[in-house]
Amino acid sequence: MKLLIVDDDSLIRESLSILLAVEGEIEVVGTAQNGQEAFEKCKELNPDIVLMDIRMPVMDGVLGTKLIKESYKNTKVVILTTFKDDEYIKEALKNGAEGYILKNQASDSIIDSLKAVEKGNMVFEKNVAEKISSLIKEENKKNVEEFNLTERELDILKLIGEGLSNKEISAKLFLGEGTIRNYVTNLLEKLELRDRTQLAIFYIKNF
Protein backbone atom coordinates (compact mmCIF):
# COMPACT_ATOMS: atom_id res chain seq x y z
CA MET A 1 0.00 0.00 0.00
CA LYS A 2 1.47 3.35 -1.07
CA LEU A 3 0.51 6.10 1.39
CA LEU A 4 0.66 9.90 1.15
CA ILE A 5 0.44 11.73 4.51
CA VAL A 6 -1.05 15.24 4.51
CA ASP A 7 -0.84 17.54 7.54
CA ASP A 8 0.27 21.13 8.08
CA ASP A 9 2.17 20.15 11.26
CA SER A 10 5.64 18.87 10.31
CA LEU A 11 5.99 16.97 13.59
CA ILE A 12 2.77 15.05 12.93
CA ARG A 13 3.85 14.29 9.35
CA GLU A 14 7.20 12.94 10.53
CA SER A 15 5.72 11.01 13.45
CA LEU A 16 3.06 9.35 11.31
CA SER A 17 5.64 8.50 8.64
CA ILE A 18 7.77 6.70 11.21
CA LEU A 19 4.89 4.96 13.02
CA LEU A 20 3.08 3.76 9.92
CA ALA A 21 6.21 2.73 8.02
CA VAL A 22 6.82 0.12 10.72
CA GLU A 23 3.95 -1.85 9.17
CA GLY A 24 5.57 -3.86 6.38
CA GLU A 25 2.56 -3.53 4.07
CA ILE A 26 2.64 0.27 4.13
CA GLU A 27 5.08 2.36 2.10
CA VAL A 28 4.96 6.07 2.92
CA VAL A 29 5.75 7.51 -0.51
CA GLY A 30 5.56 11.15 0.52
CA THR A 31 4.07 13.90 2.65
CA ALA A 32 2.29 17.19 1.93
CA GLN A 33 1.43 20.30 3.94
CA ASN A 34 -2.03 21.04 2.54
CA GLY A 35 -4.72 19.88 0.17
CA GLN A 36 -3.25 21.66 -2.85
CA GLU A 37 0.18 20.10 -2.39
CA ALA A 38 -1.45 16.70 -1.82
CA PHE A 39 -3.36 17.03 -5.09
CA GLU A 40 -0.17 17.92 -6.98
CA LYS A 41 1.81 15.06 -5.41
CA CYS A 42 -0.84 12.50 -6.33
CA LYS A 43 0.14 12.89 -9.99
CA GLU A 44 3.80 12.34 -9.16
CA LEU A 45 3.49 9.62 -6.51
CA ASN A 46 0.26 7.80 -7.43
CA PRO A 47 -0.58 6.79 -3.83
CA ASP A 48 -3.16 4.12 -3.08
CA ILE A 49 -4.39 6.07 -0.05
CA VAL A 50 -4.09 9.68 1.07
CA LEU A 51 -4.23 10.20 4.84
CA MET A 52 -5.61 13.73 4.98
CA ASP A 53 -5.92 16.32 7.74
CA ILE A 54 -8.90 18.71 7.60
CA ARG A 55 -7.90 22.18 8.77
CA MET A 56 -4.86 23.36 6.82
CA PRO A 57 -3.74 26.66 5.28
CA VAL A 58 -3.76 27.29 1.51
CA MET A 59 -6.28 24.47 0.91
CA ASP A 60 -8.13 22.42 3.51
CA GLY A 61 -8.65 18.67 3.44
CA VAL A 62 -12.26 18.91 2.26
CA LEU A 63 -11.38 20.66 -1.01
CA GLY A 64 -8.19 18.61 -1.33
CA THR A 65 -10.29 15.46 -1.12
CA LYS A 66 -12.66 16.76 -3.80
CA LEU A 67 -9.84 17.53 -6.24
CA ILE A 68 -8.10 14.20 -5.67
CA LYS A 69 -11.25 12.12 -6.02
CA GLU A 70 -12.27 13.93 -9.21
CA SER A 71 -8.89 13.40 -10.89
CA TYR A 72 -7.56 10.14 -9.42
CA LYS A 73 -10.40 7.65 -9.28
CA ASN A 74 -8.27 4.84 -7.86
CA THR A 75 -6.80 6.90 -5.02
CA LYS A 76 -8.65 6.61 -1.73
CA VAL A 77 -8.79 9.31 0.93
CA VAL A 78 -9.01 8.80 4.68
CA ILE A 79 -9.52 11.89 6.82
CA LEU A 80 -7.37 11.90 9.97
CA THR A 81 -8.17 14.84 12.20
CA THR A 82 -8.93 16.12 15.69
CA PHE A 83 -12.20 17.69 14.58
CA LYS A 84 -15.64 16.08 14.78
CA ASP A 85 -17.53 19.02 13.29
CA ASP A 86 -20.75 17.89 11.55
CA GLU A 87 -20.16 20.04 8.49
CA TYR A 88 -16.61 18.76 8.01
CA ILE A 89 -17.80 15.16 8.23
CA LYS A 90 -20.65 15.72 5.80
CA GLU A 91 -18.58 17.62 3.24
CA ALA A 92 -15.64 15.21 3.38
CA LEU A 93 -17.96 12.27 2.66
CA LYS A 94 -19.81 14.13 -0.08
CA ASN A 95 -16.45 14.78 -1.71
CA GLY A 96 -15.67 11.07 -1.73
CA ALA A 97 -13.58 10.33 1.39
CA GLU A 98 -13.57 6.63 2.25
CA GLY A 99 -12.97 7.18 5.95
CA TYR A 100 -13.03 9.69 8.79
CA ILE A 101 -10.93 8.83 11.83
CA LEU A 102 -9.51 10.81 14.73
CA LYS A 103 -5.90 11.46 15.68
CA ASN A 104 -6.30 10.37 19.30
CA GLN A 105 -6.05 6.67 18.49
CA ALA A 106 -3.13 4.26 18.53
CA SER A 107 -1.07 3.74 15.39
CA ASP A 108 -2.27 0.11 15.24
CA SER A 109 -5.85 1.33 14.96
CA ILE A 110 -4.92 3.75 12.16
CA ILE A 111 -3.10 0.94 10.34
CA ASP A 112 -6.16 -1.32 10.67
CA SER A 113 -8.35 1.44 9.24
CA LEU A 114 -6.03 1.93 6.27
CA LYS A 115 -6.02 -1.80 5.55
CA ALA A 116 -9.82 -1.89 5.71
CA VAL A 117 -10.07 0.98 3.23
CA GLU A 118 -7.55 -0.69 0.92
CA LYS A 119 -9.88 -3.73 0.84
CA GLY A 120 -12.80 -1.56 -0.23
CA ASN A 121 -14.50 -0.79 3.08
CA MET A 122 -15.31 2.58 4.58
CA VAL A 123 -14.06 3.34 8.08
CA PHE A 124 -15.32 5.72 10.73
CA GLU A 125 -14.29 6.27 14.32
CA LYS A 126 -17.21 5.29 16.59
CA ASN A 127 -18.21 8.83 17.57
CA VAL A 128 -18.03 9.92 13.94
CA ALA A 129 -20.22 6.97 12.88
CA GLU A 130 -22.82 8.09 15.42
CA LYS A 131 -22.72 11.61 13.99
CA ILE A 132 -23.16 10.25 10.47
CA SER A 133 -26.24 8.35 11.59
CA SER A 134 -27.67 11.56 13.08
CA LEU A 135 -26.87 13.54 9.94
CA ILE A 136 -28.61 10.94 7.80
CA LYS A 137 -31.77 11.19 9.91
CA GLU A 138 -31.71 14.98 9.89
CA GLU A 139 -31.30 15.20 6.11
CA ASN A 140 -34.02 12.84 4.91
CA LYS A 141 -34.65 14.76 1.70
CA LYS A 142 -36.25 12.20 -0.54
CA ASN A 143 -38.52 9.25 0.07
CA VAL A 144 -37.94 5.61 -0.79
CA GLU A 145 -40.49 5.53 -3.60
CA GLU A 146 -38.61 8.21 -5.54
CA PHE A 147 -35.68 5.83 -6.03
CA ASN A 148 -37.84 2.70 -6.32
CA LEU A 149 -36.10 1.02 -3.40
CA THR A 150 -37.57 -1.67 -1.20
CA GLU A 151 -37.45 -1.30 2.58
CA ARG A 152 -34.77 -4.01 2.76
CA GLU A 153 -32.66 -2.27 0.10
CA LEU A 154 -32.95 0.95 2.09
CA ASP A 155 -31.89 -0.86 5.26
CA ILE A 156 -28.77 -2.16 3.54
CA LEU A 157 -28.03 1.19 1.89
CA LYS A 158 -28.26 2.88 5.30
CA LEU A 159 -25.79 0.42 6.84
CA ILE A 160 -23.39 0.89 3.94
CA GLY A 161 -23.70 4.63 4.56
CA GLU A 162 -22.67 4.02 8.17
CA GLY A 163 -19.53 2.22 7.02
CA LEU A 164 -20.47 -1.41 7.76
CA SER A 165 -18.93 -4.25 5.76
CA ASN A 166 -21.02 -6.99 4.11
CA LYS A 167 -20.14 -9.32 6.99
CA GLU A 168 -21.30 -6.77 9.58
CA ILE A 169 -24.51 -6.08 7.66
CA SER A 170 -25.12 -9.81 7.38
CA ALA A 171 -24.85 -10.24 11.15
CA LYS A 172 -27.00 -7.19 11.87
CA LEU A 173 -29.84 -8.17 9.54
CA PHE A 174 -29.54 -11.95 10.05
CA LEU A 175 -29.00 -12.55 6.34
CA GLY A 176 -26.28 -14.51 4.54
CA GLU A 177 -23.28 -12.65 3.16
CA GLY A 178 -24.16 -13.91 -0.32
CA THR A 179 -27.62 -12.36 0.03
CA ILE A 180 -26.08 -9.06 1.10
CA ARG A 181 -23.71 -9.12 -1.89
CA ASN A 182 -26.71 -9.65 -4.18
CA TYR A 183 -28.52 -6.70 -2.61
CA VAL A 184 -25.42 -4.52 -3.05
CA THR A 185 -25.15 -5.54 -6.72
CA ASN A 186 -28.85 -4.73 -7.26
CA LEU A 187 -28.45 -1.36 -5.57
CA LEU A 188 -25.48 -0.49 -7.77
CA GLU A 189 -27.45 -1.39 -10.90
CA LYS A 190 -30.65 0.32 -9.79
CA LEU A 191 -28.93 3.56 -8.77
CA GLU A 192 -26.37 3.39 -11.62
CA LEU A 193 -23.40 3.69 -9.25
CA ARG A 194 -19.91 2.19 -9.48
CA ASP A 195 -19.05 0.90 -6.01
CA ARG A 196 -20.10 0.81 -2.34
CA THR A 197 -18.33 4.10 -1.62
CA GLN A 198 -20.64 5.80 -4.08
CA LEU A 199 -23.57 4.02 -2.45
CA ALA A 200 -22.56 5.46 0.94
CA ILE A 201 -22.18 8.96 -0.50
CA PHE A 202 -25.51 8.61 -2.32
CA TYR A 203 -27.25 7.76 0.94
CA ILE A 204 -25.69 10.67 2.81
CA LYS A 205 -26.62 13.11 0.04
CA ASN A 206 -30.18 11.95 -0.47
CA PHE A 207 -31.46 10.62 2.82
CATH H superfamily, domain 2-125: Response regulator (3.40.50.2300)
How is residue 5 annotated by DSSP?
E
The distance of Cα 187 from the centroid of its chain, to the nearest Å, equals: 19
**Which residue intervals of the chain bear CATH 3.40.50.2300?**
2-125
pLDDT at 33: 97
Range 139-206: architecture per CATH: Orthogonal Bundle (1.10)
pTM: 0.67
- DSSP letter string over 149-179? --HHHHHHHHHHHTT--HHHHHHHHT--HHH
- Judge residue 25's burial from the number of C-beta atoms within 10 Å of its C-beta, 0-12 exposed, 13-18 middle, 19 or more buried: exposed
Angle of the 126-138 helix axis to the 86-94 helix axis, nearest 10:
80
Torsion (CA) 97, 25, 73, 32 in degrees, nearest 10? 70
CATH 1.10.10.10 domain span(s) along the chain: 139-206
**CA neighbor of 61 nearest in space, from 115, 19, 103, 118:** 103
pLDDT score, position 131: 63
Please enumerate in sequence order all residues whose Cβ is within 8 A of that of 78, keeping only pairs 6 or more positions apart, or say none. 49, 50, 51, 52, 97, 98, 99, 100, 101, 113, 114, 117, 123
Give the whole-angstrom CA distance, residue 83 versus residue 101: 9
Q: Tell me the pLDDT of the chain (207 aa) as tens digits.
A: 999 999 999 999 999 999 998 888 999 999 999 999 999 999 999 999 999 999 999 999 999 999 999 999 899 999 998 877 777 777 888 888 999 898 888 889 999 999 999 998 888 876 666 666 555 555 544 445 677 888 899 999 999 988 899 999 999 999 999 999 999 999 999 998 989 888 988 887 777
Residue 52: its pLDDT value, please? 96
The answer to whether 122 and 99 have CB atoms below 8 angstroms apart is yes
Measured between alpha carbons, how far is residue 64 from residues 23, 32, 76 in Å? Answer: 26, 11, 12
Question: Whose CA is closest to 43, among 22, 83, 72?
Answer: 72
CA 172 to chain centre: 21
Going by their DSSP bridges, the two strands 123-124 and 99-102 should be labelled as: parallel
